[in-house]
Chain A
Amino acid sequence: MKLEDLDISAKEALFEYLLFLGDSNLVLGHRLSEWCGHGPMLEEDIALANLALDCVGQSANFLKLAGEIEGKDRNEDHLAYLRDAIDFRNATITELPRGDFGFTIMRQFLVATYLYIIFKELRNSSFDDLKSIAQKSIKEVKYHIRHSSEWVLRLGDGTEESHKRIQKSLNELWRYTNELFVQMPQDQVLIEKNIIFDMDSSKKQWLEIIEQVLKEATLITPESNEYLYHNGREGKHTEYLGHMLAEMQTLPRSHPGAVW
């Protein structure tokens, strides 16, 4: 299926969904990039920067496609740099400040595992362009899971201090995870056309991978009744996103159309 095969309601729904994937990766990528020059060791500094670049790269693909579907002459840079927080559709877990290294790693593990499951399904999308981005991105996300899960094991089953700190990070982050699986009403249009897929089974798959690693890392999976109600897909964000965007967007907003 291609762009011209979509009716208006499908276009609108897909635009929103692509913003969700694009913005989530963009915001996560920016948070990772904040480690540049501050990593706990040189090798990990480079590793985090690599992850950041992967996320921003994926984001550019999703936002570019979103702009094409919207058809209002907004490209990926326009969407990334010239929208305000209320128009961002990222999952709120991605916008939380980077915290300590354990917090960043735990978030990466939770979100990368989620993206892995989503991309795995989107490889079967009936919409060609989305399918090809998912196929390309899944390789990167697999590495993100490998890298972050190995650190979760070492920090969880490490020293008393590292265990305590990463468990605390997990408890804080957990409250933002349910949001990842909340479907929006307009998603139904896309599900009917097999462009995206129902998330009913996704949470179970996600939890299986997460719980296996947490258990091995001697960490306790938090209770599920501690979720917060935020939904980035409705534009309801934490206070942190606006501050982050102010920094991220300052250059293109102060110097519109600037080029190298």
Chain B
Amino acid sequence: MNSPLPVAMVVDADGVRVTLSQTVLDNAPIGMALTTVSGTVLWTNAAMAEVIGIADARTLVGRRLIDLVGEDDARQLAADAAALLAGDDAPRREIHRQSGAEPRWLEVRSSLALDPSGTPVELGDPAEPCVIRQLLDVTERRVAEQRLAEAHRELEERNRELERSNEQLSQFAVVASHDLSEPLRVVAGHVELLQARYDELFDDRGRTWMGFAIDGCTRMRRLIDDLLLYSRTGQELHLEQVALADVVAQAVHRVEALIGDSGARIEVVDPLPEVVVDRGALTQVLANLFSNAIKYARPDVSPCIVIRANWYDAGWRVEVADNGIGIPERHRDRAFQLFQRLHGREIEGTGIGLALCRKVIERHGGTIALATNEPSGTTVVIDLPTLTPTPKDEKP
């Protein structure tokens, strides 16, 4: 028979009694069943079919709900019913569905079935107290949670690996630079001694060669120092909320000599925001960018650097634009690699500046990229995502 069972529920809404028909209960997103304490199903709504994984919920009537689940789950459901009878609350329970095509997780809530006067009803043959079971399919949520936990574990593992390899890399750099320094000092020292004590024994060619040897040593020294600087900078960030304008001022101070010699102008487009960064590391980044802008100025054009910051959807975009010779698009990726130089020896440097900038910005979770500053020059675009919590937010 297809007609709905004559079951309804009456609720009291502000003194008005409203009847919820079987259809309303059938359409509920959860499966509901009235069972005897020993487990026989007396009534169920239609939604139960989907939750349990059968074609028609009515076929459940007369069967035992706990036969559809595993032994452990059945024991727990029985224990819940017993607790209800004893006047206790039954906990929210998660069980594993055994019926149907695939295993599902079901959340079960159990309560004692009462008549309108609040007395436990007794039904069935022989008559027993009854419980109402409400079942919700939480499989999607559980799968998502499991995936999330899995992803979290993987991320943590990868983080640990990254930390290990970072640690090893920085140790390697320290050891390498230290151990490279010793033989370098011996080579450089003795070539210098030759130059100082035996210079007159060499002809011009010999002196030129000694000069090359000394230049090589000096360059090697710089590379080692820079390698050490690169491995140390931004290794541990001490984040604090600072005014970007202060950091800019500090960076300008650091390149004052260069500015003085070149007649460079540095313009700040107000206002600059507050950012959460490692002050020392960001100062180093900006000083490197200023120094690049001045070193790679166009001949006969005095350098002009413009700094501005704009909010983008996830944080502050800081732009440092210059009017220098610019970096061709095909070289832009290479520019950020360690010890990569795009110019000849006529411009001093080991090629560490931008590599160091990238390391610092990426340690902040940001990105750094190069663009053209029309008509000529480079714009360095730094995206600094907002880091939380900021020290100010923590204060009451």
To the question of whether A and B form a pair in one complex, the answer is no
Q: Which residues of A approach B to under 8 Å, CB–CB?
A: none
